[in-house]
Amino acid sequence: MIYDICIIGSGAGGSPIAYELSRAGFKVVVLEKGPFYREENFTKDEIAVSRRDLYSPLLEEEQHVIYERQHEGSVKRYVGSEYNWSFWNGSMVGGSSNLMSGYFHRLKPNDFKLRSVFGAIEGANVVDWPISYETLEPYYAKVETVIGVSGQVTSHPFAEPRSTSRFPYPPLEENGITRWFDAACHTLGYHSIATPRAILPYRALEREGCSYSNFCGSYGCATGAKGSARAALLQRCEAQIISEAFVFKLQSTHNRVSEAHYFDSAKRVHKVRAQIFVVAAQAIESSRLLLNSKNRYFPKGLANNSGQVGKNLIFSAGGAGEGRFVFESLTPKQQKRLMEPGLFVNRSLQDWYEYAHNGRVQKGGTIDFLFEHANIIARSVREFYDGETLLWGKALQEKVHRKLTRSRVLTFEVFNDWLPTDYCNVAIDERVRDIYGMPVGAINLYAHPHDLEVGEYLAQHAVKVLERMGATDISYSISSSPPPNLVAGGCRFGHDARSSVLDSNCKAHELENLYVTDASFMPTGGSVPYTWTIYANAFRVADVIRRHLKKL
């Protein structure tokens, strides 16, 4: 059989294309490396998720090699399995969208033109996008209705233009602490934003509503309320989904991909033929696949005669902080509100998405506020010490009980741009191979110093909110450590084939029928989580492919 479309990867970048084109009557096959879990397979098993990485490969079998560049220029090599350093995230049907918390923010219009608006930054490869916010806006709106986004549109200085006045679903139920947050922000002159969530508040779209377990991040959703690519799209489309299919090579001529070669769970090789191929295997793995697909037409890797595949890898810069609210400083009514189980905080700040610094306006970012994760194991482990003294027995038991029942931690996450540089990229490490015998990806890491400066600026404002709310034990950390669940770039799109891999429609410059639609296409990441933008762009590319197929 020759399919109309073969999609490699089933996350937020591939599933909209499978959904749209299979429902339009085209023959679509999705090849997914991981297993096909459904709602009934997802439990709140903390051991499986927090200690055993249930949803990602064993590093002894599949890993990456990491090269970490220091600011003075030295480089240290880490083999993932030896250092327990993993860049896998959500190896299953639906990909890492199964494990997201679903905090959905759109990019702002100026995110699409960083170079033009804010100017060059020394040592950073900042460029404008080849499309505008106005091009993507209808697809942001489409995601709201098809995936299901709940929330309340909030007016603030950097609110992006919208074609609709409200979200299609009302906000999720909120914990009483949001009143303290809103009041503190009002006093400080900040604009409290009701955070949009890709979570349904009630039964809709053939899915159940939220159960308020507060086990969103790192866990699959047992009700289907969370808008994962699996629950929202793949379980409602007509595509053929082949799970446990690791695509290791794309075969091509000088201008067309002809076959995808994959191993099944028994390491048997299969081949899939199609008119159009879409790569959406996650930014690192998509670059690795193209680099491992070299042939006589593309000796440096598929679509890589420009040498740009794997370049300008980006993550999300920033960090996190927290403050604790203790019963001793609260009224009985406040204590009761604080300990309301399951209910969300769902508050954000974007007052400093752009801000003045040293006489010029520069890009800032987003701060999301949320309760610490509901994981009892993680919350207990942090109480093992009293200062430098290790506790055990009754003293440990009493401390854990007191902290868990008479206080609660409000955390914040800072998101700002990870600037693309020459030193952060994906390559191939020929010395290390996976269980399939394929060279693993080599991740070269480097964070631009500017990233830390912006993250620090944002964190200091978040601390002011916690202080105003009356929190104690306030702390934060802004780090250059890359979050593996927020990775993009490697196949950036652009108008110039010499400096980009893809054109403005995410088709490879050098091949007629190859598209890349995961976060790889992003030349810059903005200062928000990526998922909503990946979804929106994939729906846009689905329209492009549909128009192309209708001409054949």
Q: Mean pLDDT per segment of 10 residues, for the chain of length 552 residues?
A: 97 98 98 97 87 88 95 91 94 97 98 97 97 98 98 96 97 97 98 98 98 93 97 97 98 98 97 98 98 98 98 97 96 94 96 94 97 91 91 94 95 98 97 97 97 98 98 96 95 97 98 98 97 98 95 76
Residues 6+ apart with CB under 8 A from 274: 2, 3, 4, 5, 6, 29, 260
Report, at the CATH architecture level, how domain 2-551 is classified.
3-Layer(bba) Sandwich (3.50)
The three-state DSSP-derived secondary structure of 110-179 is: HHHHHHHHHCCCCCCCCCCCCCCHHHHHHHHHHHHHHHHCECCCCCCCCCCCCCCCCCCECCCCECCHHH
Alpha-carbon 417 to chain mean position: 13
Q: Are the C-beta atoms of residues 196 and 535 closer than 8 Å to each other?
A: no
pLDDT in tens, 310-323: 999 999 999 999 99
Residues 298 and 306: their CA atoms lie apart, in Å, by: 10
Break the chain into its structural domains and give their ranges: 2-551
Q: Can you tell me the distance from the alpha carbon of 18 to that of 2, in angstroms, rounded to the nearest whole number?
A: 16
3-state secondary structure 92-103: CCCHHHHCCCCE
Nearest-angstrom CA–CA distance, 7 and 300: 23
* Neighbouring C-beta atoms of residue 521, cutoff 10 Å: 32
Strands 65-69 and 75-79: antiparallel
What whole-number distance in Å separates Cα of residue 152 and Cα of residue 526?
22
Q: In the chain, what is the straight-line distance between the N-terminal and C-terminal CA atoms, in Å?
A: 17
Return the structure tokens found at 1: 């059989």
Task: Detail the DSSP E strand segments found in 208-353.
Answer: 240-242, 246-252, 257-263, 269-279, 311-326, 347-349
Where is 380: in which H helix or E strand? helix 376-381
444-491 per-position pLDDT tens digit:
999 999 999 999 999 999 999 999 999 999 999 999 999 999 999 999
Q: Are 86 and 53 in contact (CB under 8 A)?
A: yes
Q: How many alpha carbons fall within 13 Å on the CB side of residue 303?
A: 37
pLDDT in tens, 185-236: 999 999 999 999 999 999 999 999 999 998 999 999 999 999 999 999 999 9
- Residues paired with residue 78 on neighbouring β-strands, in sequence order: 66
User: Rounded to an integer, what distance in angstroms lies between the CA atom of residue 79 and that of residue 65?
Assistant: 5
The angle formed by the CA atoms of residues 89, 94 and 97, to the nearest 5 degrees, is: 55
Pairwise CA distance, residues 134 & 308, whole Å: 27
CB atoms closer than 10 angstroms to residue 220? 26
Q: Which two tokens stand for residue 63?
A: 């890993």
Q: Give CA–CA dist 234/13, Å, rounded.
A: 12
Cα 428–53–7 angle (5° rounding)? 55
234: left (phi over 0), alpha (psi -120 to 50) or beta: alpha
CA distance 495 to 509: 9
